[in-house]
Amino acid sequence: MAAKSVKETKVFKLAFELAMEIFQISKKFPKEETYSLTDQIRRSSRSVCICLLEAYRKKKYPAHFVSKITDSDMENSETSGWLDFAFACNYIDEIIYKAFLDKNAEIGRLLNHMINNPEKY
C-alpha cells in the first residue's frame, strides 16, 4: 500500500536523516570549503528529499513522477561523490564515510525501485 505522504516513506526518512547527519558533520569542515564542498554536499543531500516531495505532487502523471525520482537519484549520486571528496580530504573518518555511503546506497536502491515500479507509489 502506498504511503499517504512521501514523508512517511522509508526512502524520504532515510534521505532526510542522511542530509541532517551531513549537515551536522559538515559544520566541522574548514572555512575555506564553505562555498565549495560544504555548500555542495549540503545542497545535493537536501535535494534528494526536495525532489521526492516534488515527485509526489506529480504522481498523477507517471512520466513526470519518474522524471522527478530520477532527479532525486541524480542528487543522491552527487552526494556520494562529495562524500568521496570529504573522506579523501580527511574531513570525515572512515567509519562515518562508510556509514554514510551505506545509507546513500540504500537510498539509491529504494529510488531505483520507485523508478522501476511507479505504480506502487
Say if CB 15 and CB 107 are below 8 A apart.
yes
Q: What is the CATH number of the domain that holds 90?
A: 1.20.1440.60
Q: How far apart are CA 38 and CA 86, in angstroms?
A: 9
The number of domains in the chain is 1
Say if CB 71 and CB 57 are below 8 A apart.
no
Q: How far apart are CA 14 and CA 103, in angstroms?
A: 7
Task: Choose between 120 and 48: higher pLDDT.
Answer: 48
Taking residues 36-62, what's their average pLDDT? 97
Of the pLDDT bands very low, low, confident and very high (cuts 50, 70, 90), residue 4 is confident
Segment 103-120, tens digit of pLDDT: 999 999 999 999 999 999
Q: Is residue 1 part of a domain?
A: no
Grid cell, residue 46, equals 537536501
pLDDT at residue 1 is higher than 80: no
Range of the domain at 83: 6-120
Q: Is residue 116 part of a domain?
A: yes
pLDDT at residue 3 is higher than 90: no
Of the pLDDT bands very low, low, confident and very high (cuts 50, 70, 90), residue 2 is low
